[in-house]
Amino acid sequence: MELEVDENDLQAAGAELFADGGRRGIRIHGWVIESPRHSILNSSTVQEWEQKLQTSHLPEMVFGENTLILKHLNSGTKIHFNAFDALCGWKQEALPPVEVPAAAKWKFRSKPFEEVILDYDYTFTTPYCGSGTIEIDKDLNGRKISEETSNVHWEDCKEQIDLIALASKEPILFYDEVVLYEDELADNGISLLTVKVRVMPSSWFLLLQFWLRVDGVLIRLRETRMHCVFGGSTNPVVLRESCWR
């Protein structure tokens, strides 16, 4: 169900919603926040990803073109979330496979006529906390292009996200939930990576969540929250907190 936004709230916040094909989002206080969404990867793209990741295993449903992008125009700060970077994290972490009685039949899941040794993390657990770069827009023959110059720099701090303030009844100007990948673990649970964002007149807040349930064995939850209060600073301050359970 799509969020209904009061035009008066948008005008009061100096915000503008936009939608173009699979791309939708909001412009507010120097930020452009958008969530392009498309269908799952086709077979040829799956093969490309497998080659790049050096694996023969991917989740059942990979929404490779689904992204959440938050870009601060003045500083060029771009925070974004995508399935490929998340799977790079899965491949690098390389957790051992979860031992379950039902795992024996999964050996034939991807190749019915060829036994596959279950020697990889089939839950696709990832340490991914998002991607961040600094992009400067340049004019090239009357056409604007974005040139990446460096990665976003994160620093440890004592300041925490004020969840009580976020619970206040402030109007929500934009909300979306983007699925990055999903696997039902051969009907023995679920592995799901999603990112949700909501934009208010005073700030934006997002939750990146990896949720795993292996029936009768374990539940695993990894969450990253980010919050940015709108202000006049050239360089925005974004708080990021991660929690693994």
Per DSSP, 59 falls in state -
CA distances from 237 to 140, 145, 245 (A): 30, 25, 27
Per-residue pLDDT at 206: 98
The pLDDT value given to residue 142: 55
Is the backbone of residue 2 left (phi > 0), alpha (psi -120 to 50) or beta? beta
Strand intervals (E) in the chain: 16-20, 23-28, 31-34, 61-62, 68-72, 77-81, 131-140, 143-151, 174-183, 189-199, 203-214, 218-229, 238-244
Output the pLDDT for position 148. 65
pLDDT in tens, the chain (245 residues): 568 898 999 999 999 999 987 789 999 999 999 999 888 999 999 999 999 999 999 999 999 999 999 999 998 999 999 999 999 999 999 999 887 765 555 554 555 555 556 778 999 999 999 999 988 776 555 555 566 677 888 999 999 999 888 988 899 999 999 999 999 988 889 999 999 999 999 999 999 999 999 998 999 999 999 999 998 667 889 999 999 99
Largest CA distance in the chain: 62
- What is the per-residue pLDDT for 186? 83
**Both structure tokens of 3:** 């969020």
What is residue 113's predicted lDDT score, i.e. its pLDDT? Answer: 56
Rounded CA separation 173/10 (Å): 7
Where do the structural domains in the chain lie, given as residue ranges?
7-244
| pLDDT of 198 | 96
CB 32 within 8 A of CB 16: no
Q: Residue 126's pLDDT is what?
A: 98
Measured on CA atoms in the order 22, 204, 194, 86, is the torsion positive or negative?
positive
CA distance 114 to 52: 23
pLDDT for res 29: 94
